[in-house]
Amino acid sequence: MAGPHSSLPRHDLSSTKSGSSMTQGLEPSIHSSGGDVPRITEHVTTVKLVKKGKRIAPSPKVRLRNSLLGTLGLLELANAADFAANVWNNVPVQTYVIVLMACGGTLALVLTVPAIIDARRSWNNICFLREHRRRLRNEMRERQGDSLPIYDIDAIQGVLHREIGSECINRFGMNVVMGAGALIIGVGTIMAIWGANHSIWLASNILSGYLGNAPVALYGLVNSVWCFHLFTKAQEHKRVTAEKLEGQPVLHQLHRRFLSTQIYAAASGSTTLLGGVGGMMTPTLWMGYVVLIPVIISSFACSFWWKKRLAYNRPFTGRTFGLEESSIIVELECLAELQAKLEAGKGIDHIVNDPHCLFSLLDYITRNDMFEDFVISLAGDQTISDALFSSSQGPLEITNTALLELPRKLHPAVVDSARAFINNYSFQRLTKREMDNGIPSLELLLANRH
């Protein structure tokens, strides 16, 4: 479960005056040209890292991550891997059929590997979201005890409901059910090679037939219901935001996201439902494999669409008391202004107050949720890495104070690294922040107040 780890070795210098102001941990507001405004996500000034051999990697459960494995869309291919076992279900088994059975069964078994890997990634996200929900419930109890409004917490809980549902059903459930189905189908298909033995032939038919395909069909039904919920919720948000944000530039961004959600929900729900029907046909009807051809293509496209257009990274939400839709609109407008500067070819000297000051550079990196990526990028510089990372093999905490308190002789190198990082990654990161906090939060905040 993601959360504070007091036992972690900590690189922090909070005893200094500047350090104490920087080690508050996670700041709840952002700085913009219009002053400080509430924002939906925390300012991450501390990152938790782990050492994997010589490589430094982020701790997996400290934020929601867009970590979907690219090969996940190929899981539907396992549904068709038993083609030879079901179509040429005769004894004696011909040599070319044995080859096809071996290839199909092996393919199905191999596809269980990405399912296991992605299930672990999804579980890390689920742990993060459960911890986030626990924090919100604690904050809600505190607010209710003080008779304070909780509409913003209700809105964020709406976000969590969608995020948890999508992780559990669209992703973790798919990995578990279809991974298990691929395993059963793979074993049954390989067993069909020895179909001359009646007992093996019978077991093979059961495994590669209805037993291997029934869980996939059941999952398709559950997923289609969830996708219908996502579709109707996006339609409701579209209606509410159209009423409340008429004439606002951000309305176009919101409706673009709603449309992307509806496209995904319609395609994913239809794909898994049709895949279940096709899978249940394959044990007795070869036409079921014809049905699976568009299902396989659509499944891969849905995974790509989710990763590129809908999924996002974000840390925990901060203390959001006083958060209004106007605050998030201001943040999105600030992001759009920065993006316009970057698109016009204006680099770091035009977007950071003091582009040669390490404090200003770190402030910009922190405010735009790039601190974790920046710290990891520093691991590529051996000199800075040796000074920053201890020899401990356990988890590490690195704060922005630790960077400020590096030996003076290293400051020019850190400044150069920060400038290069901002120039190379700012536009990409600012674009993603529209999804990471502003747009998803605004859609729920508005929808929960109508």
* Residue 295: domain span: 70-310
Q: Are residues 141 and 88 in the same domain?
A: yes
In a domain, 380, yes or no: yes
Domains in the chain, number: 2
Q: Are residues 95 and 168 in the same domain?
A: yes
Q: Are residues 220 and 241 in the same domain?
A: yes
Task: Output the six-digit token pair for 361.
Answer: 């550079």
pLDDT at 207: 86
Q: Are residues 125 and 181 in the same domain?
A: yes
Burial 371-408 (b: 16+ CB within 10 A, else e): bbebbbbbbebeebeebbbeeeeeebbbbbbbbbbbee
Q: Are residues 276 and 339 in the same domain?
A: no
In a domain, 3, yes or no: no
8 A C-beta contact, residue 417 and residue 384: yes
Q: Are residues 234 and 103 in the same domain?
A: yes
Q: Which tens digits make up the pLDDT trace of 94-141?
A: 889 899 999 999 999 999 999 999 999 999 999 999 999 999 999 999
Residues 6+ apart with CB under 8 A from 314: 41, 63, 64, 369, 436, 437
Q: Are residues 239 and 272 in the same domain?
A: yes
Q: Are residues 123 and 210 in the same domain?
A: yes
Task: Output the six-digit token pair for 436.
Answer: 């990471």
Q: Are residues 275 and 168 in the same domain?
A: yes
In a domain, 408, yes or no: yes
The H or E element spanning position 21 is helix 17-22
In a domain, 4, yes or no: no
Measured at the alpha carbon of residue 245, what is the angle toward residues 243 and 167, in degrees to the nearest 5? 90
Q: Are residues 323 and 239 in the same domain?
A: no
Q: Are residues 240 and 329 in the same domain?
A: no
In a domain, 336, yes or no: yes
Q: Are residues 285 and 161 in the same domain?
A: yes
8 A C-beta contact, residue 173 and residue 71: no
In order, the DSSP letters of 164-213 are HHIIIIIIIIHHHHHHHHHHHHHHHHHHGGGTTSHHHHHHHHHIIIIIHH
In a domain, 250, yes or no: yes
In a domain, 162, yes or no: yes
8 A C-beta contact, residue 82 and residue 185: yes
**Below-50 pLDDT ranges, the chain:** 1-38
pLDDT at 6: 32
In a domain, 405, yes or no: yes
Q: Whole-prediction pTM value? A: 0.83
Among the candidates 293, 310, 327, a domain finishes at 310
Among the candidates 310, 336, 353, a domain finishes at 310
8 A C-beta contact, residue 313 and residue 436: yes
Among the candidates 310, 330, 356, a domain finishes at 310
